[in-house]
Structure 1
């Protein structure tokens, strides 16, 4: 999967805003904040496949195989997974795991 360098500051700001709006975490600890900072720093250099794809953050995650394949090839999967483990978002597909409430 091809990654895209993110050099447009406005695009990066929109990606971060979108991520924050669609991923209501349940635990905001100092560790989760640090992991989020690392995730957003990684997004400055690589645009993840989920950036403009609502399938990753929909209330009900569909097409699990597609999402898992995209996550498996994502250059920031480690940062994404660390953040998700610490913040425990209540929705979305993070680093190959469905965090939608009621699915685990």
Structure 2
């Protein structure tokens, strides 16, 4: 039989609102920025091509090589971004499970 612990619930809520929400929001925003940078790097040759075709920018051989290098860097960053996201999700799941254990104690 599981017993509901009101004091643990109050402590978990207070702790999560004050500290964990700031840390979690920061981690989520950092992972979002990592994905945004990775995606932009991967799409950089297409973005450059679009800018050249529309006339927003004139063709430059240096920029073409640079966009290809950025695309390669993005492809290298992709596994890191995927692993970081998975680690963050797994940590969040474990933390929620831990909080549930604190609030619902077994007798």
With the shorter chain as reference, the TM-score category is: under 0.3
Q: What is the TM-score of this pair, normalised by structure 1?
A: 0.25
The TM-score normalised by the length of structure 2 is 0.25
Give the structure with the higher percent helix. 2
Say which one has the larger Rg: 2
